[in-house]
Chains A and B, each alone.
Chain A
Amino acid sequence: MFVINCPHCNEPREEEEFHYEGEAFIARPAEPETQTDAEWGDYLFMKKNPKGWHWEMWGHSAGCRKLFVVKRNTANHAIDGAWTLTEARAAYDAEMAKI
């Protein structure tokens, strides 16, 4: 029952307006046919499941229908930020660079 700030609508809205779209930044392999079964299986099924901060995609299904990225703590549902898909990668890379 948290509140998400949709970066497209730029307004905090109740969770029930949104749907979860899973882990962010899973890129579809450019050439699926050259992937081994193991590599393709990794892409399909192996998802991060951290206790703590998680970068994930949400969709504003009852609003603007846009997907965007949320950094959420899976242990306490704290939300550290929400970015459009275009901005999110830079925010993620900046954070990874710090670690």
Chain B
Amino acid sequence: MSSRVIHKHSRVDFSKPLSFTFDGKIYQGFAGDTLASALLANGVKTIARSFKYGRPRGIVGAWAEEPNALVQVDVGARTTPDLKATQVELYDGLVAARTSGWPSLAFDLKSLGGRFSRFMPAGFYYKTFKWPNKFWPIYENIIRRAAGYGKSPIEPDTETYDHKHHHVDVLVVGGGANGLLSALLAARSGLKVLLVDDQSELGGYLLSMPNVTIGNLYARDWVAKIITELSNSPNVTLLERTTAFALHDMNMIQAVELVQDHLPHHERKPEQRRERMHRIRAKQVILATGAFERPLVFGNNDLPGIMTVSALTTYFNRYGVSCGKNAIILTSNDLAYQGVADLAEGGMNITLIDTRANINPLWAARFAKLGVTIYPGYGIDQALGSNAVTGAKLVKLDSIKMSASINCDIIASSGGLSPTVHLFCHDGGRPQWKDNVLAFVVSATGRANAGIYCVGAVTGVFGLQESLSATCETITEMLAALNKKVESDDLSFNTDEINCSPAHAIFRIPTTAKAFVDFQNDVAVTDVELAVRENYRSIEHIKRYTALGFGTDQGKLSNVNGFAIAAEMLGKTIPEVGTTTYRPAYTPVSFGALAGAHVGDTFEPRRYTAIQAAHNSRNASYETVGQWMRPWYFPKPVEDIHAAVNRECLAARNNVGILDASTLGKIDIRGKDVREFLNRIYTNAWNQLAPGKCRYGLMLNEAGMVMDDGVTACISDTHFLMTTTTGGAAGVMSWLEKWHQTEWPELEVYMTSVTDHWTTAALVGPKSREVLAKLCSDIDLSKDAFKFMDWRDGTVAGVPARVFRISFSGELAYEINVDASYGHYVWEELLKAGAEFGITPYGTETMHVLRAEKGFIIVGQETDGSVTPFDLDMAWAVSMKKPYSFIGKRSLARSDTARTDRKQLVGLLTDDPNFVLKEGAQLINSDNITPPVPMLGHVTSSYYSAFLGRSIAMGFVIDGIKRRSDEGNNIVYAWADGKAVKVKIASSVFFDAEGARHDV
């Protein structure tokens, strides 16, 4: 604990020690620490190995800008990779590990490659792994193993996540000085305010600047006073540990709240979420996102023990950690000075190297009193040391004259501030370069018309007093636009700041040693140089060629230095080079938070029919059809799917089966023009269909391709009931609405989705009439009174029913529709009545086999949006004589659609009756598979038919309709699983072509 500094400003509670483990070793920290501050306090300097060269790396930053200290936190299902140690709150029992460095942090094999680093310049992936082409899979394997940090958990996540929606007047992003002031002013004017801040404690950088005063208050007291007032305002919500990571159109902000990852395991509540995503729709957004300090680039600037001045100051003031005894501070600006003074007052020996020749005299006097040695007009050529910094070699900048080396155990640098402009830019906003502050900044009110305002450091106003006054003006303007005004009279922002002298426009100090721009991706100055030399001109290309600003860093620390160095080498100004594009997410977001509650059982709604309980009691196995859960087959003990389906098929063909067909889409269509509407929507004619009759229809899209099919019943001249495919119901509904609303508003039709209103039981098989007769006495079921394709109203088992005599199996069949509330009852009554005939419930698999035996298509299985009715050999369902040119008709005559040698639906029979073709198998002309092999089509449906005692299949073959009756030319091969199987093209109707079985 030698480097702990116990002082009154620290936000760490020294009375609450905690123990934690890093890389298997136990350490001690305190409540209020981050993992990074605790590791630094324990003298742990190397915490990572670099990506390309395996160089030792330490902690550079104090928050989200940290590029190196990526750690794996926790173990098992809870483990999380790639967290920044600087953002991980310490709790008792925390277990963390490094994510890089193999075999150990002390010795990384990759570092041996360091001496070969000239073989790994920018773009080395593209250059080294390019040839020969066929080796790419091997290279990819190697690269994948070398790339990335950390390990994802392999166990299922045991924790829960959720989403919360907010609608607010004002969202303030950032709880620093200017964010707090904005929230306060907005709240006092009565607006509904939400403030989100990513840290565990509000106050932002003021927490690191305890000696600053605002008005007559110390910074922390000023913060506390505002928090108290906000907390007591009913119109204000404060969310800590909540990172706004994306700003989308129309001020939709996504923010993720870490709910309880900061608590020791035993304090986490199982009923509480781990993380919560907030989706915030805000009328006004105030971005008070602050800025990160960027380091200066010099030789060996990646040695452990080199960090930013703000980080060094933060560890000292906020966490009570002194990162070294003898510090060298390198700066190009005054912003770092307050921290330097605090450190010197706290007892650190400081050598201040300022790249500017003239030091602000007020500061010079203050530093003289504190015993700070100053080198004006100097820079650091390179840091010295092998595994940690031990000194620095100075250089006098005006003469490039090397100077003596100075010993130190810590170096901190400041190249100025880079505003956190990310959110502002997510929806297309661009930052502007401002020369006087040497930063890409955003405009305070430039997007006020979109309700986006910016305050504080993000606008390039870095002085505290100046920024608070500017914030006050910005919020006044925002309130004025809402016809409100600032309701405050205590707006004194006098601080004790010393006015800043101009900063020095310097980003790197030329050196012969390796100087890094982007630590996380191991991008050195020479890499940017090389990219420019190889003629990359756009900063977007330079970024991708060098990997500058990739990864979790997303350029927070490295971008502006990279842009500036590229500008220098391109001979352009920084604004001419511009920035790369800022995209969400600002910081990494877990999949859990993104998914929220939409996982497992709550991933998607599951729809069940009214007779689900009956299916469960009969051991149904289910398949998902759209959102519906449909019985797939009903296995008896020891039966597999094949045995069950064979038994079900034979029962339906020989006796009687029963299928739950309730999921078919049903659309009730009424109005005086329904017939004409159907004429236009379907391919066939509807004028002659009498009440009591049904008809099968094919629906095409305007390109002439089949999109749905089903049976529609005429209830009366002005009332029809349309059925659609199970999966197509919603799409067909909006399709009908579209044509009605856009092209045919003059037709009087009203459509209602009634899918869930009805339960439909299909009673199928030669004994179906006898079963139905036992339960239905008010419908004459005789062959001539109730014909095929008729429907009748009546009662079944005492329940009002609409019975359709239609068949998707080719057997005598009745589809019994009853109010869904009675569905389960009627189903059970049917099963009781059918018991003496061996009634067998069957599922979708048997339904598929039965329909395939008859060559009936399934839209979506036989069709894929490129199939016309003629391709399906279904010209019988198309009436070309209707007066109105039905949807899709004209397209059937387009030159390509009208070709006669298109892929057409045929039956396919193997020589071996027991061999079932693979669905999706390609059909080719011979079993010679030496490329090129012309693809003739593919298998769409394939089953074993127990009734026929052989396999059957359907598929598409070029010119198939002609080939099926062309004896010498009817053989093709189905290619799947490395085998070409001979098949004969045949009719797709495998038996009872004349339809005798249903006509009884």
The reply on B268 being an interface residue by CB < 8 A is: no
Are A44 and B885 in contact, with the CB atoms below 8 A?
no
CB nearest neighbor in A for B248: A1
Chain A residues, CB < 8 A from B541: none
Assess whether A40 is in contact with B250, with CB atoms less than 8 Å apart.
no
A76 at the interface (CB under 8 A from B): yes
Find out whether the CB atom of A33 lies under 8 angstroms from the CB atom of B281. Answer: no
Chain A residue nearest in CB terms to B885: A32
Q: A32-B890, A44-B703 are in contact. Are A85 and B249 (CB under 8 A)?
A: no
**Contact of B734 (CB < 8 Å), options: A19, A33, A40, A76:** A19
Q: How many angstroms between the C-alpha atoms of A27 and B742 in the bound complex?
A: 8
- Residue-by-residue, is B866-895 near A (CB-CB < 8 Å gives 1, otherwise 0)? 000000000000000000010001110111
- Given that A35-B890, A41-B894, A59-B734 are known contacts, is A66 also in contact with B741, CB under 8 Å in the complex? yes
Given A2-B250, A44-B702, A76-B428, A65–B890 Cβ distance below 8 Å?
no
A31 engages B885 (CB within 8 Å): yes
- B250: chain A residues within 8 A (beta carbon): 1-3, 77
Asked whether A44 lies within 8 Å of B249 as measured between CB atoms, the reply is: no
Task: For the complex, give the distance between the alpha carbons of A7 and B933 in Å.
Answer: 55
State how many angstroms separate the Cβ of B681 from the closest Cβ of chain A. 13
A1-B249, A1-B252, A44-B703 known; A67 vs B894 contact (CB < 8 Å) = no
CB nearest to A40 among chain B residues: B890
Using A35-B890, A77-B249 as known contacts, say yes or no to A67 and B741 having CB atoms under 8 A apart: yes
B240 located at the interface, meaning its Cβ lies under 8 Å from any Cβ of chain A in the complex: no
Complex formed: what's the CA distance from A76 to B249 in Å? 8
B741 and A44: CB pair below 8 A? no
Residue among A32, A44, A57, A67 having the largest count of chain B Cβ atoms under 10 Å: A32
Answer whether residue B668 sits at the interface, using C-beta atoms and an 8 A cutoff: no
How far, in whole Å, are A67 and B742 apart by their CA atoms in the complex? 8
Are B885 and A37 in contact (CB-based, < 8 A)?
Answer: no
A28 interface residue per 8 A CB criterion: yes
A21 CB-CB contact with B under 8 Å: yes
In the complex, what distance in Å separates the CA atom of A22 from the CA atom of B124?
A: 44
Q: A21-B738, A44-B703, A76-B427 given as contacts; is B890 within 8 A of A33 (CB)? A: yes
Nearest CB in chain B: distance from A96 CB, A: 19
Q: How far is the CA of A48 from the CA of B428 in the complex (A)?
A: 23
Minimal beta-carbon separation of A69 from chain B (angstroms)? 10
- Once A and B bind, how many residue pairs between them come within 8 Å at the CB atom? 55
Q: Mark B684-707, 1 if CB is under 8 A from A, else 0.
A: 000000000000000000110000
Cβ-neighbour of A37 out of B738, B745, B894 (below 8 A): B894
- Complex-state Cα separation, A59 to B738, whole angstroms: 8
A25 to B, closest residue via Cβ: B742
B451 CB to closest chain A CB, in angstroms? 12
Task: Write out the residue numbers on chain A whose beta carbons fall within 8 Å of the beta carbon of B894.
Answer: 37, 40-41
CA distance A66 to B893 in the complex (A): 32
Once the chains are docked, how many angstroms separate the CA of A1 from the CA of B248? Answer: 7
User: A residues within 8 A CB of B890?
Assistant: 32-33, 35, 40
Chain A residues within 8 Å of B249, by CB? 1-2, 76-77
Which residues of A, 20-64, contact B by the 8 Å Cβ criterion?
21, 27-28, 31-33, 35, 37, 40-41, 44, 57, 59, 61
> What distance in Å separates the Cβ of B725 from its nearest Cβ neighbour in chain A?
18
Chain B residues lying within 8 Å of A67, measured Cβ to Cβ, are: 737-738, 741-742
Chain B residues with CB under 8 A of A31: 885
Alpha-carbon distance A65/B743, docked complex (angstroms)? 16
Q: Which residues of B contact A2 (CB under 8 A)?
A: 249-250, 252
Q: Mark B882-919, 1 if CB is under 8 A from A, else 0.
A: 00010001110111000000000000000000000000
A35 to B702, CA, bound (A): 14
- Residue among B428, B745, B889 making CB contact with A32, cutoff 8 Å: B889
Q: Complex formed: what's the CA distance from A66 to B741 in Å? A: 8
Assuming the A-B contacts A1-B250, A66-B741, A76-B428, are A61 and B734 also in contact, with contact meaning beta carbons closer than 8 angstroms in the complex?
A: yes
> Of B248, B742, B895, which is in contact with the most chain A CB atoms at under 10 Å from its CB?
B742
Once the chains are docked, how many angstroms separate the CA of A82 from the CA of B427?
22
**Nearest neighbor of A32 in chain B, beta-carbon distance:** B890
Name the residue of chain B whose CB is nearest to the CB of A76: B428
Residues of B within 8 A of A32 (CB): 885, 889-890
CA of A31 to CA of B125 in the docked complex: distance in angstroms? 59
List residues of chain B with CB within 8 A of the CB of A27: 743
Select from chain B the residue with minimum beta-carbon distance to A15: B249
Shortest Cβ gap from A35 to chain B (Å): 6
Least CB distance, A33 to chain B, in whole angstroms: 6
A66 partner residues in chain B, CB cutoff 8 A: 737, 741
> Given A37-B894, A40-B894, A59-B734, A85 and B889 touching (CB < 8 A)?
no
B427 — which chain A residues lie within 8 A by C-beta?
76-77
Contact present for B428 and A85 (CB under 8 Å): no
Task: Report yes or no: B738 in contact with A3, Cβ–Cβ below 8 A.
Answer: no
Interface residues of B in 380-431 (CB under 8 A from A): 427-428
Q: In this complex, which of A21, A28, A33, A75 has the most chain B Cβ atoms within 10 angstroms of its Cβ?
A: A28
Closest B residue by C-beta to A22: B738
State in angstroms the CA–CA spacing of A32 and B664 once bound together: 32
> Chain B contacts of A57 at CB under 8 A?
742
B890 to chain A: closest residue by CB: A32
CB distance from B376 to the nearest CB of A (A): 48
User: Nearest Cβ in chain A — how far from B584, in angstroms?
Assistant: 11
A28 touches B743 (CB 8 A): yes
Asked if A85 meets B742 with Cβ closer than 8 Å, knowing A2-B249, A3-B281, A40-B891, the reply is: yes
**CB-CB contacts of A63-92 with B at 8 A, as 1s and 0s?**
001110000000111000000010000000
Chain B residue numbers with a CB within 8 Å of A76 are 249, 427-428
Of B702, B734, B893, the contact of A65 (CB 8 Å cutoff): B734
**Contact between chains at B737 and A65 (CB < 8 Å):** yes
CA distance A2 to B281 in the complex (A): 10
Which chain B residue has the least Cβ–Cβ distance from A77? B249
Complex contacts, B742 vs chain A, CB 8 Å: 57, 67, 85
Residues of A within 8 Å of B703, CB to CB, are: 44
Cβ distance A15 to chain B, nearest Cβ, rounded Å: 9
A61 proximity list for chain B (CB < 8 A): 734
Which of chain A's residues has its CB closest to B429's CB? A76
Q: Can you name the residue of chain B whose Cβ is closest to the Cβ of A67?
A: B741
Report which residue of B738, B743, B885 has the largest number of chain A beta carbons within 10 angstroms of its beta carbon. Answer: B885
**What 9 A-B pairs have minimum CB-CB distances, sorted nearest first?**
A32-B890, A77-B249, A32-B885, A1-B248, A2-B249, A1-B252, A67-B741, A2-B250, A76-B428
Where the two chains meet, the residues of A that have a C-beta atom closer than 8 Å to any C-beta of B are 1-3, 14, 19, 21, 27-28, 31-33, 35, 37, 40-41, 44, 57, 59, 61, 65-67, 75-77, 85
16 A-B residue pairs with CB within 8 Å: A1-B248, A2-B249, A3-B250, A21-B738, A32-B885, A33-B890, A35-B890, A40-B890, A40-B891, A44-B702, A59-B737, A65-B734, A66-B741, A67-B742, A76-B428, A85-B741
A-B contact sample (19 more), CB < 8 A, given A2-B252, A40-B890, A75-B428? A1-B248, A1-B252, A3-B281, A14-B281, A21-B738, A32-B885, A33-B885, A33-B893, A35-B890, A59-B738, A66-B737, A66-B741, A67-B738, A67-B741, A67-B742, A76-B428, A77-B249, A77-B427, A85-B745
